[in-house]
Amino acid sequence: MAKQRIVDAQVQRADKRPAGSPLRPRRLSEYVGQRDLIEKLSITLQAVCERGEPMEHILLHGPPGLGKTTVAHLIAVEMGTRAYSASGPALTKAGDLIGTLTRLQQHDVLFIDEIHRLPPAVEEYIYPAMEDFKIDITVDSGRHAKVITMALRPFTLIGATTRAGLLSGALRNRFGISHHLRFYPQEDLVAILRRATEVLAIDEIPISALRVIAARSRGTPRVTLRLLRRVRDFAHVRAGGRIDEQIVGEALALEGVDELGLDELDRSYLRTLGQTYHGGPVGLEAIAATLAEDPGTLEDVVEPYLLQIGFLARTRQGRRLTPAAAKHVRCSPPPPDAEPHRSGESLFGPNSPRPQPAVVARPRPAPIIHGPVES
């Protein structure tokens, strides 16, 4: 029952950094980077507000930590309405979605994270809700079954996904705005760090130290803010609060973050590809099995940045290590005409056990938040 999953804003606070966190931008004008998206949204926001219409439904896609949730909450702020959050896999039954939709007030925002994991039976209820602001509910069953159409208050659905390709065409086509968020350049991350140091009252941190943190943040605001907090703790305990390039270097070395921003999982991925599979090409499932990791985590969290910095090539035959990556993890690059590895065949003798697919529990879906989120 949807009711049993109602949680208060405290739960969301613990779960993900909240909309009310001082580190989140408070207005769209404070949002750093992604300028084409912000410009597009500002124009549409001004137009719909002046016409008294709800904001267009928006699909935001891109790797985790780039600001999709933040944008959703800022749109509610700019509309002067409230944002409600839910997660695709947690909306297991149509009743969950109906309960959420019927609570929305005029022009409220419903944010659905991981919308690609919405069950198909629930997804079907979303179509008329998005298009005509109504839902058809079947009451009773058999001969007595009746369909009741319920009108909804005009609202905005904002869907976020790391895998736009897994969305059905029918759902994708119902979004008026669809945007892919890109990794942030270093100067944008420095701007995010400067604002965070003011909010966190971290005094006298030289810009050169911020640049080092930004350069090792994988182009991702969530990573950059996390590294700043780790550096602050390290400086507090080991250096009397003083932060300079050297302290940043020592703190990040302790975190296992190298000069390119790669962490232990990235390096294990590259080493597996380079050493176990001789640089590839090899399928993602085989790499995941060797690392005992979830293929989805590797695809969403590890691979996008490795592709971005040219350490990984995705070919029709599978993943290949590039010469730059081979140099970084000190193994020989694959020959250009290497045959694809079929998992477990060429590298493991006929009597050796084949790598088994990793059995990794998916993270538990975040509960539905029926209360308005602070913004």
- Which of these is catalytic: 69, 70, 156, 220? 69
| 3 state DSSP class of 64 | coil
Please say which residue, 221 or 355, places its beta carbon nearer to ligand ADP. Answer: 221
Shortest distance, position 366 Cβ to ligand ADP, whole Å: 12
Q: Which amino acid is at 77?
A: V
Q: β-strand 156-161 against 58-61: which pairing, if any?
A: parallel
Whole-angstrom Cα Rg for the chain: 23
| 3 state DSSP class of 112 | strand
Shortest distance, position 18 Cβ to ligand ADP, whole Å: 9
Backbone angles phi, psi at 280, to 5 degrees: 90, -170
Please say which residue, 196 or 326, places its beta carbon nearer to ligand ADP. Answer: 196
Residue listed under structure tokens 């140099």: 327
Shortest distance, position 281 Cβ to ligand ADP, whole Å: 30
What is the rounded CA–CA span in Å between residue 216 and residue 25?
22
- Which of these is catalytic: 216, 222, 232, 319? 222
What is the rounded CA–CA span in Å between residue 65 and residue 47?
29
Please say which residue, 66 or 213, places its beta carbon nearer to ligand ADP. Answer: 66
- Residue 113 is a catalytic residue: yes
- Residue 68 is a catalytic residue: yes
Burial class from Cβ neighbours inside 10 Å (0-12, 13-18, 19+) for residue 8 reads exposed
Please say which residue, 23 or 164, places its beta carbon nearer to ligand ADP. Answer: 23
What letters, b where the CB count within 10 A reaches 16 and e where it falls short, cover 326-365? bebbebebbeeebebbebeeebeeeeeeebeebeeeeeeb
Q: Which helix (H) or strand (E) holds 216?
A: none
- Residue 197 is a catalytic residue: no
Residue listed under structure tokens 């250096």: 239
- Which of these is catalytic: 96, 108, 113, 294? 113
What is the rounded CA–CA span in Å between residue 303 and residue 313?
10
Structure tokens at 307: 């592709």
Q: Which amino acid is at 44?
A: T
Shortest distance, position 229 Cβ to ligand ADP, whole Å: 11
Structure tokens at 252: 């990040």
- Residue 40 is a catalytic residue: no
Shortest distance, position 23 Cβ to ligand ADP, whole Å: 5
Backbone angles phi, psi at 68, to 5 degrees: -65, -50
Shortest distance, position 162 Cβ to ligand ADP, whole Å: 8
Burial class from Cβ neighbours inside 10 Å (0-12, 13-18, 19+) for residue 209 reads buried
Please say which residue, 25 or 281, places its beta carbon nearer to ligand ADP. Answer: 25
Please say which residue, 70 or 343, places its beta carbon nearer to ligand ADP. Answer: 70
Residue nearest to ligand ADP (CB): 67
- Which of these is catalytic: 81, 161, 162, 290? 162
Shortest distance, position 316 Cβ to ligand ADP, whole Å: 29
Site residues for ligand ADP per CB under 6 A? 17, 23-25, 31-33, 64-70, 160, 192, 221-222, 225
Residue listed under structure tokens 């690392």: 291
Please say which residue, 88 or 221, places its beta carbon nearer to ligand ADP. Answer: 221
The residues assigned a catalytic role are: 68-69, 113, 162, 222
